[in-house]
Amino acid sequence: MSVFDQQSTRKPPISQIGAVLWLRTNLFSSWINSALTLASLYLLYIMIPPLLDWMIFNASFSFGTVNLFGFDIKFSEAMATNQNCGREGACWPYIYEKLYMYTYGFYPRTETWRPNIVFGLTALLFVIVPLVKHYKHKNRVTLSLIILYPLVSYVLIAGGFGILMPVSTDQWGGLLLTLIIASVGIIVSFPIGVLLALGRQSNLKVIKLFSTLFIEFIRAVPLITILFMASFVLPLFLESGNYFDKLLRALIGIALFQAAYFAEVVRGGLQAIPRGQYEAADAIGLSYFQKNVLIILPQALKISIPNIVGSSISLFKDTTLVLIIGLFDMLAMVNLTSNDPYWLGRETEGFVFVTIVMWAILYSMSRYSRKLELRFNTENTN
Amino acid sequence: MKKLILDSLGKSKHRGSNFRDLLYNNEARAFFFQVITFVLVVGLFYTAIGNLFDNIEARGIQTGFSFLNNRAGFDILPFLGNIVVDYTPESSNLTVFYVGLVNTLVVAFIGIILSTLIGLLIGIARLSNNYLIAKLAGGYIELFRNIPILLQILFWYNLFINIFPHPKQSLAFFDIAFLNQRGLYLPKPIPEDGFLFVALAFVIGIIAAYFIKKFFKKKQDLTGAHTSTWPYTLGLVIGFPVIIYFLIGSPLQFDYAVLGKFNLRGGMAVVPEFLALTFALSVYTATYIAEAIRSGIEAVDKGQKEAAAAIGLSPIQSLKLIVLPQALRVAIPPTINQYLNLTKNSSLATVIGYPELMSTFGGTVLNQVGQAVEILAMAMLVYLVISLFISLLLNYVNKKMEIQGR
């Protein structure tokens, strides 16, 4: 009598499971791929270790004693100076010392709470509001924030009105100024951009001509020529005696520049709306104003939201250009602070620090725009 | 228009209320709004220009373009612009304009070539089935796209002048090229008498290659027989000029840079400002081009590749004849737009002092002369013309690539 012994199943070959399989299919599938993998590993090897050495292992973190939220954290006995920092690694105490300049510029040190509230408001408006999804009166809360935010921020930062100490615009600087220019640029240029887009799509020949000329002219020239125009020529266009703040001039230039780009983005949205929507609005007897505000724009703006965020990202990058006309934004602080005789020759640290901050902001903005794109893509698949 | 208003008045006679009808007449309204816009815009311009002349007179600024003939009187960082235009401090302001223009075009030209090469490489690497390569390409794009270009220019410039060695310890590549803080020293080509013939041979080669390609294409259309044209092209464009070059007796000499006691002598110096600017612009613009290339390749339907394989095309033929032509249709228009952006961004060189249009003419000359209106108008006109040229190119390419309907 033969008994059938069931044999245990053999394990799959080692090359067909787990990490080995993954390596074989993704990194070493052919000899070309293997060579490429080795080449990129070598590239990483010659780039990453020196970078880490400079930024962390050879760098100085001797901040002295740092007071963080009421706790004293002791990094070292005393703060490092430029001399005992060494040149083979980064000197982060320099950044720590100049952090105030990078964040607030020349803002009076006693009034720091005011920009801090504005930073908090900005975070609330741009981070928390889009993330928190459902609650009562969401639209109303968002709308009132969008209207209140510029007013409250202006009062807080500029001061005056007999309540707060006035702070003139040449004391604004650093990240604060970068954020101000970016938000004012976006908020002011957006309505102008929508009007220009409607103007370019209009049947009225004169309005169409002017809108098209404006948009095409602005888009053809670099921002720096517009900023020069705003800073050198704009005062000449006004009646003599009208003094114009330097920051305000830059803001006018940036807002007009950005309006042209927003206009093109919104026009893309307008063109994507089927003709039937326009015709239906006409058929039920809506006026031009009603047709656009109630029917066309809500749909067109919704389609163009990802591109609007994309265009805002470009604007945020472009704010750095104001240093050319002598405003001290975050990037301008690098040269300014490393001219300090006590911290000579630390530009590289400054550039790396600004790069990290700017990159973090811009990268999160671009992730956000991609998320929006995906969300609106699924909703429009009917 | 007068007829239109009369018409609408005439039509409404039997209804009684003339003004009301005019108010609600679409065409009359349109006319009215356009007149208002026109008056507002022209009025704004009129006031602005009026104020401008008042202010200019009050401040004693000169007007007109006579400043272009005045002596410039300042040094410009020696680069191609100075050599092409032959600039000295005794030259006129107009010469400065030409120097800046040449330098802008040089940086735009080199930047466009480099960014296209890097962009192609990264865009294809992004779609590689090699995990590491794809992730590295993705990381490259995310890193450099999200850093403002001005910051990148400043960063590379600062790095280049800090890490490159002193002229005394120049890095030498086989005594041909030297790299130090003052830039990259390359051999300077000195064409001699017969070199014109070599250049001529090159041009003739290109034209002949074009016609040979056309001939074989026609043959293929008629008979279906395919002939590879690349050997002919290679022979005509490269081989023919090389043969002429040696027949005439090598009419091109090189002036090599020589390491002296303190400095390098001779050769052709590529200033670090140019290196940093071109590097930053190419690296930054390449991220956008890479994304354009990737989306172009991804836009080609998978069925196209499968159909190509089904009718027996080899992978290379499929790529060359089926995938690439369709991918390029999507990828080329955004790429050309990026060329325009690169050219516009080259104006940021003013922060590191590379002598292009906005730093020489729009910078130093503007500060010396103070005629901002004329100078900025001229600079803007240059960018307008470049942008117009690129839009024309874009239209041409779009038309050429249009899907041919039947």
Is B142 in Cβ contact with A36 (below 8 Å)? no
Residues in contact with A145: Cβ distance below 8 Å, sequence separation at least 6, in sequence order: A124, A125, A129
Both structure tokens of A151: 């007013």
Closest CA to B377 of B63, B167, B5, B50: B63
Q: Which run of H or E residues covers position B373?
A: helix B372-401
Q: What is the pLDDT along chain A (382 residues), one digit of tens a residue?
A: 677 888 888 888 877 777 888 888 777 878 888 888 899 999 999 889 988 988 888 888 877 777 777 777 777 777 777 777 877 888 888 888 888 889 988 888 888 888 898 888 888 877 777 677 777 777 787 788 778 888 888 888 888 777 788 888 888 889 999 999 998 899 899 999 999 999 998 888 889 999 999 999 999 999 999 999 998 888 888 876 667 788 999 999 999 999 999 999 999 999 988 999 999 999 998 988 899 999 999 889 888 888 898 899 999 999 999 999 889 999 988 888 888 888 888 888 899 999 999 999 999 888 888 887 787 765 544 4
The DSSP bridge partners found for residue A172 are A105
Domain B80-187+256-400, what fold? MetI-like fold (1.10.3720)
Query: Nearest-CA distance from B310 to chain A in Å?
Result: 24
**Span B108-161, pLDDT tens digits:** 999 999 999 999 999 988 988 888 899 999 999 999 999 999 999 999 998 888
- Residue B241 contacts residue B202 (beta carbons within 8 Å): yes
pLDDT at position B1 is: 56
Q: Which residue of B has its CA nearest to A322?
A: B150
Q: Which residue of B has its CA nearest to A206?
A: B34
Query: Nearest-CA distance from A273 to chain B in Å?
Result: 22
Residues in contact with A34: Cβ distance below 8 Å, sequence separation at least 6, in sequence order: A27, A28
Taking the C-alpha atoms of residue A111 and residue A158, their distance in angstroms, rounded to an integer, is 11
Q: Amino acid letter at B384?
A: L
Residues in contact with A359: Cβ distance below 8 Å, sequence separation at least 6, in sequence order: B143, B146, B147
- Mutant choice from B122, B155, B366, B394 vs A, greatest count of A C-beta within 10 A: B155
- Residue B262 contacts residue B167 (beta carbons within 8 Å): yes
Give the other-Cβ count within 10 Å of B56's Cβ. Answer: 17
Whole-model pTM? 0.86
Domain A98-379, what fold? MetI-like fold (1.10.3720)
Domain boundaries for CATH 1.10.3720.10 within chain B? 80-187+256-400
CB pairs under 8 A between A and B: 148
**Poorest-confidence range of A300-309, B243-252, B286-295?**
B243-252
Closest CA to A229 of B362, B22, B90: B362
Closest CA to A173 of A322, A378, A382, A340: A322
What are the E-state strand segments in B219-338? 252-255, 258-259, 264-265, 268-270
Is B147 in Cβ contact with A362 (below 8 Å)? yes
Taking the C-alpha atoms of residue B371 and residue B62, their distance in angstroms, rounded to an integer, is 7
Taking the C-alpha atoms of residue A347 and residue B341, their distance in angstroms, rounded to an integer, is 28
Q: What is the DSSP string of A227-283?
A: HHIIIIIHHHHSPTT----HHHHHHHHHHHHHHHHHHHHHHHHHHHS-HHHHHHHHH
Alpha-carbon distances, residue B166 vs A187, A210, B171 (angstroms):
49, 55, 9
Q: Is B32 on the interface with A (CB under 8 A)?
A: no
Closest CA to A195 of A120, A84, A292: A292
